[in-house]
Amino acid sequence: MSHIIDPTRKQILGTELRNRLENGIDLPVLPEIARELILLRNRPATEVADLVAIIAKDPVVSAQIMRHGRMPIYGYGERVESLDEAIQLVLGYDKALHLAMGLSAGKNLQVEMDGPLGAKATWMHGLKCAVVSQSLAKELPAENRPGLGLAYLAGLMHDIGFLLFGVLYPQEFSTLNKTVEQYNQIEARELEFHVVGITHDMVGSTLLRNWNLPAEVVVAAAEHHFPDYDGLHAIFAKLVYLANQLIHMSDEATYSDKALTMIDRLGLDEVAVQRVMASLNEMSSDFDVMVEEMVA
């Protein structure tokens, strides 16, 4: 491979990064609004007005919430004229809170824009995975259905480890980004092992845990490459795993064996899954605008 880190540097990097993660050394801090939202989530009794007051402090997050509320999938469009309406009429308190939490949490993770692991591609994939994970969760049998807001947040944040690595080690991240672009037929996680010796699922889940994000989201980040994981909050990891499979093969006529196996394990109807993916394709222009706002 033409893009490679010196073996000695790779060993030092792995040891140093693990130490920083385990001890919380110089990790990006969670933005104030995200901290306020976590505190709000943990309060026993809150109202939509409390949530609106926090989100309204950040014009970018407010605009994103409004844009989500106007998505074609919900059927309200331009009739949503305020942040309060987007939350009360369309998204609901739970989803709006977790969406705002994810959008605000990622604001301190600034990395190079382009490439398969760059900010644009990572957030584009995260947004798609969030929508698919939540939509699939809606289709689950009632007795197995998890919180839809948490399913959305799990999808949005599952690849955040790429961004954290880019913040902590921009030069090595650039090397990894170029390697993944050049060898696009190989899974990015496999290339991570080869290039830097540590993977985004470990890095990302550690950061989310350090930030005190919900345990369901931490598990999804840690386990979304492992479909056989059946521990605590496994449903979130499985939803994100399936969302990844479906998004990566969205242009193919038939689903892969991996996707079909997980559809069956989750008790999903294949027609419903096809409906979810058709809705996703209708939102492409919305995603383009949202990503541009997120990385601006």
Instruction: Show me where the domains of the chain are located.
Output: 7-26+110-295, 29-108
- What is the domain class of 7-26+110-295 according to CATH? mainly alpha
Inter-residue contact 186 to 140 (CB < 8 Å): no
Token pair belonging to 225:
């490459």
Residue 209 tokens, joined: 């845990």
Given phi > 0 = left and psi -120 to 50 = alpha, else beta, which region is 239? alpha
Residue 45: what pLDDT? 79
The pLDDT, as a whole number, for residue 74 is 81
DSSP for 250-293, please give it. TTSSS--HHHHHHHHHHT--HHHHHHHHHHHHTTHHHHHHHHHH
Are the C-beta atoms of 84 and 149 separated by less than 8 Å? no
Query: Looking at residue 22, what is its pLDDT?
Result: 86
CA dist 242 and 266 (Å) reads: 10
Q: Is 224 left (phi over 0), alpha (psi -120 to 50) or beta?
A: alpha
What are the tokens at 85?
Answer: 């309406």
Tell me what pLDDT residue 279 has.
87
Mean pLDDT split into 10-residue runs, the chain, 296 residues:
68 84 88 93 87 93 90 84 92 90 88 95 95 95 90 95 94 92 92 87 94 95 97 97 92 84 95 91 83 82
pLDDT, position 226: 97
Burial class (CB in 10 A: 0-12, 13-18, 19+), 231: exposed
Tokens 């994100």: give the residue.
Answer: 240
Please indicate, yes or no, whether the overall pTM of this predicted structure exceeds 0.85: yes
